[in-house]
Amino acid sequence: MSRNRQPIRSGMGRSTPDRIFVQGMDLTRDIIGTLNLGDMAYLEMTGRLPDARQSRVFNAILVTLVEHGMTPMAIAARLVYLGAPESLQSAVAAGLCGMGTTFAGTAEGAARLLEAAVAESPEGVVQDMARNIVADFRRRKQPIPGIGHNLHKPVDPRATRLFEVAAEEGYAGRYVDLMRAIGQEAEAAYGKSLPVNATGAIGALCCELGISWRAARGVAVMGRAVGLVGHLVEEQARPIAAEVWLRTEEEVSEQDEPPVGGR
């Protein structure tokens, strides 16, 4: 059967024998030596250059999740590098695969939640919207994306600073207000410390910048990829992955009790 074939088009980049174009800009004349990495990322994602205010907010988002210590993602990257030192990119990819609803990936969920709520009630009272959102998640017994942290409490200092930068640059609007209100309502409903965390703040600021929730996790991926490369550079100079492996193997092999069914 025949079908109507759509033309294959992309505005991302193209090349001629002596020039390279990225989003319509000349790479060597307009970009190299002119744009920083954050502004380049913004150009790639939106198709336009950020102004000074957008640049500061977006770069603040990018650097927030670069590093957070010896997380499962960093450990995974180091262990894969131990097994395949010829493939640094595979080790980075392995670490990024751990970016999900438990570690660093909830910027997507937070942005999706905020985007949907504001679209549904553009003139709604923020506190009422937040109360309804918290009640809905509580009824379904699901965690609220972007809310709570096992270590950073009663506040996540990263979220505090991101909101400060956004306010300074005129990007602390309705999405930020709603994210903060959700944190307040969550603490009231559950009776414990549930601060807006870094990914909650990032989700809100992505919305403020007009970045779709579908791309919010990609923003987090960009930052964390830098951090994982840093971990692997440290692993090259001061390796610990072999110790993690050997110690784990030793401790798993030590059995104080006989195996199930044994005597």
pLDDT in tens, 69-91: 999 999 999 999 999 999 999 99
Average confidence (pLDDT) over 38-53:
96
43: nearest Cα among 222, 214, 174: 222
The helix, strand and coil proportions of the chain, stated in percent and rounded to the nearest 5, come to 60, 5, 35
**Rounded distance, CA 96 to CA 77, Å?**
8
- Read off the pLDDT band of 263 (50, 70, 90): very low
Average confidence (pLDDT) over 98-125:
91
CA angle 97, 102, 104 (to 5 degrees): 65
**Rounded distance, CA 28 to CA 20, Å?**
7
**Rounded distance, CA 258 to CA 262, Å?**
6
180 φ/ψ angles, rounded to the nearest 5 degrees: -65, -40
pTM, to two decimals: 0.90
Instruction: Express each pLDDT in 149-174 by its tens digit.
Output: 888 889 999 999 999 999 999 999 99
**Rounded distance, CA 222 to CA 256, Å?**
44
Bridge partners of 13, per DSSP, are: 22
**Rounded distance, CA 177 to CA 13, Å?**
37
Average confidence (pLDDT) over 107-123:
95
Question: Domain boundaries in the chain?
Answer: 107-213
- The conformation of residue 67, written as its DSSP 8-state character, comes to -
**Rounded distance, CA 13 to CA 26, Å?**
10
On the question of pLDDT at 1 being above 70, the answer is no
**Rounded distance, CA 236 to CA 224, Å?**
19
Residue 165 pLDDT: 98
> What's the CATH architecture for 107-213?
Orthogonal Bundle (1.10)
